[in-house]
Amino acid sequence: MRKNSLKFFTFYLLGFILMALVVVVLTLPKLLILDRLFISKGIYMMARSVQENITSLSLRDVKFLKDGSKISFNQLDVSLGFLYLLAKGYCADGYLELRFDLFGSVKLKGKDFRCLESFHIKDIDLQIDDGIKGFAKLSSVKTKDVKVDELSLVFKGRTFEGQALAFGQMLKGSGMIVLNRKDLLKSQINGTVSGVGTSFFIYGNLENPMLELKK
């Protein structure tokens, strides 16, 4: 009888804690939570207007600044679903979508997104968990030395293959991926694409991939 009472009390306590967390999430000012989260990552956010709903947040004319880099959205919608958090940003006719699942995986999708300073996203569809799978097609990629017209990457878990169009020729190559399990978007990529007399290093992380002419 005592065991049954103990089990009942344990389930009651866990249920109460869960309900308390739900109430906290639904009642706390979401913009304040979001802003503090970004600041803890060294990211500063500015928005012209904000609309809060029970499980979602919508921001207009948003700018994010970090280490001298900037990303802008005409509109950014953040919503809390069952076991996931979804952020979707719009810029002109394009969009960029980031989904965090409770179990640790991250999904990144986007198309025709032109509000990044370093490159434009033509098409991207990535899933990041035990590895990185999917593809990324970028254009107008700015490097330290030259502008690359197109860059395509195909991710295969812990490796990737790449193609770059620069100087009127197609360069091909491959590279490795080093996962950062604490922050999947900071997973490192390192590789090379080469052509006739020309090579580029591909390095950095998924938040800020870099391309540099090999001299």
- pLDDT tens digits, one per residue of 156-183: 999 999 998 888 889 899 999 988 877 7
Read off the pTM. Answer: 0.76
Question: Which two three-digit tokens encode residue 65?
Answer: 């600044």
Q: Which of 4-8, 53-57, 144-148 has the lowest mean pLDDT?
A: 4-8
- pLDDT tens digits, one per residue of 61-103: 988 887 777 788 899 898 888 888 888 999 988 999 988 887 7
The amino acid sitting at 39 is I
Helix, coil or strand: residue 55: coil
Comparing C-alpha atoms, which of 139, 127, 146, 38 is closest to residue 84? 127
DSSP-assigned beta bridge partners for residue 89? 76, 96
- pLDDT tens digits, one per residue of 27-44: 456 667 667 777 777 778
Scan for tokens 């049954």, then name that residue: 4
Contact 123, 137 (CB under 8 A): yes
The amino acid sitting at 53 is N
Dump the DSSP string for 179-191: --SS-GGG-EEEE
